[in-house]
C-alpha cells in the first residue's frame, strides 16, 4: 500500500477564518477529512500534519524517508522563503507535489517564486481545497506508474530474449 505524507505549513491552521476571500471558508480539519476519505477510496494510506514551525516541517520531511512513498506539501509562506524546506525535500528524494489553495502566480509579486517548485514533481495552485485531492490523484498515479514501470523492466530482464518479441 502506498503511504503519503501531507504537510500543511504556517497559518493553515486558521483556514476557514483567515482571509476567507482568498482562502475560502473550509477549515483545515475539513480538508484533512476530505484527504482521508479520498485516500481510502484510492487504497492508499495518508498521514496529515500541520506546523507553523519551519524546523518542524524540515524534521518531518527528513523523517519521511523510509516511512512514506511520497509527500504532498503546502509550504504556505515558506514557499517563498525556505531554502531549508527545499533542501530537505531534495535530500530525501521522495516524489513531492506542492499545493497552494490560491493561485500564487496571480497574487503579489513576492509570491510568484517558489523555492519548492524546483525539487517537486509538480505544483497545483488555485483550486482551493480540491488541489489537495488533485495532488493525491497525481502522486498516486505517478507512484503507481513508477512502480509498474520498474517492475515491468525487471520482468523483461528475467525473460529470455526470444520471449520478448
Q: What is the pTM of this model?
A: 0.83
CATH 3.40.50.9100 fits 3-164, yes or no: yes
Residue ranges of domains in the chain: 3-164
**Which pLDDT score, from 0 to 100, does residue 35 have?**
98
The residue among 52, 43, 90, 51 whose CA lies nearest residue 71 is 90
8 labelled catalytic: no
Known catalytic membership, residue 132:
no
Q: How far is CA 21 from CA 16, 24, 101, 149, in A?
A: 10, 6, 12, 43
Q: Which segments of the chain have a pLDDT < 70? A: 106, 108, 110, 146-165
Give, in order, the Cα–Cα distances in Å from 86 to each of 7, 65, 96, 120, 159: 13, 15, 11, 9, 41
Kindly state the cell numbers that stand for 86: 527545499
What is the reported pLDDT for 110?
A: 65
- pLDDT at res. 16: 84
pLDDT at residue 58, as a whole number: 98
pLDDT computed for residue 103 by the predictor: 79
Active-site position among 100, 112, 113, 142 = 100
pLDDT digits (tens, 9 = 90+) for 57-76: 999 999 999 999 999 999 99
Amino acid at each position: 500500500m502506498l503511504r503519503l505524507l501531507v504537510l500543511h505549513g504556517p497559518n493553515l491552521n486558521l483556514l476557514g477564518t483567515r482571509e476567507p476571500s482568498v482562502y475560502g471558508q473550509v477549515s483545515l480539519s475539513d480538508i484533512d477529512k476530505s484527504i482521508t476519505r479520498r485516500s481510502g477510496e484510492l487504497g492508499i494510506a495518508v498521514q496529515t500534519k500541520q506546523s507553523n514551525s519551519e524546523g518542524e516541517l524540515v524534521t518531518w520531511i527528513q523523517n519521511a524517508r523510509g516511512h512514506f512513498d511520497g509527500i504532498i506539501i503546502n509550504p504556505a509562506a515558506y514557499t517563498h522563503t525556505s531554502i531549508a524546506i527545499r533542501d530537505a525535500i531534495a535530500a530525501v528524494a521522495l516524489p513531492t507535489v506542492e499545493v497552494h489553495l490560491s493561485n500564487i502566480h496571480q497574487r503579489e509579486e513576492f509570491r510568484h517564486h517558489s523555492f519548492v517548485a524546483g525539487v517537486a514533481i509538480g505544483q497545483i495552485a488555485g483550486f482551493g481545497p480540491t488541489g489537495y485531492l488533485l495532488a493525491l490523484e497525481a502522486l498516486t498515479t505517478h507512484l503507481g506508474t513508477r512502480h509498474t514501470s520498474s517492475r515491468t523492466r525487471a520482468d523483461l530482464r528475467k525473460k529470455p530474449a526470444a520471449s520478448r518479441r
